[in-house]
Chains A and B, each alone.
Chain A
């Protein structure tokens, strides 16, 4: 069981918008920054969002992040077939003194 909870899968049509939720607790999301990673099939993960809502250079503004209390959300607009991937949220858990990830969400672009 993952410390952070994500939906196993989401789907939407090309051009549409999708959101992926990540739920935690006061010791992780509630008190630390959240990051989001995209893992395309057969590749290493890549950071999409860090510090809750900051995009590294090269990440298009179709990707956005937000945090409220003990939950965080990744938003993707203008969906493309190339966005089909697994998405993970991650943060630090101050009580566990450990890094933690969500279980991952598989995005299907129909």
Chain B
């Protein structure tokens, strides 16, 4: 059974940093691209970032480009999101989401989602 478990969320002050993790199990993590998707309170879904299976290709939403960095450790089956220079508008539940195809180099769709971790940016 595929499981994605996010962690690392919490309350942070504007301008601060946070690193989210997503522990994956139930599939061969190193074969699949992964994504981060967020949802602000009461708002819709917003795609944040994509990383290919090897980690060679990454993409970011304009809203986080230059501030967030996606990475992965295939030996630990873990996805990361390093978030710097956080703003109030980054407050959201952050989901990690798996790409369904081996070898994807851009987002196709998301076949499995974690439960999410809440990030609150506030003073």
Interface of A toward B, CB cutoff 8 Å: 2, 33, 35, 37, 39, 44-47, 50-51, 56, 86, 88, 90, 92, 96-104
Among A44, A50, A86, the residue within 8 A (CB) of B113 is A44
Our count of residue pairs bridging A and B at CB distance below 8 angstroms stands at 65
Flag if A92 contacts B116 (CB, 8 Å): no
Interface of B toward A, CB cutoff 8 Å: 35, 37, 44-47, 50, 59-62, 95, 100, 106-111, 113-116
Residue of B nearest to A43 (CB): B115
* Assembly CA distance A90 to B114 (angstroms): 18
* Assembly CA distance A100 to B46 (angstroms): 7
Flag if B111 contacts A101 (CB, 8 Å): no
Collect the chain B residues with CB atoms within 8 Å of residue A97's CB. 59, 106
Q: For A51, A90, A99, which residue has the most chain B Cβ atoms within 10 angstroms? A: A99
